[in-house]
Amino acid sequence: MNEGYFVGWGTLALINAVLAQGKNRSGLNWFILSLFLGPLATLFLALSGKK
């Protein structure tokens, strides 16, 4: 696989962690979840409200 794919996926996971912390959620948990779900985790975070 192209290594750019892994860099993009990791960057998305970091962005999700920051987004989760902004919504008073665990950044580490969302980072790990984002490594598996990727864009779906971003969608869930974008649609969720603040905790």
pTM attached to this predicted model: 0.85
Q: Quickly state the pLDDT bin for 25 (edges 50, 70, 90).
A: very high
Please give the Cα distance from 38 to 40 (Å, whole number). 6
Mean pLDDT of 6-12: 92
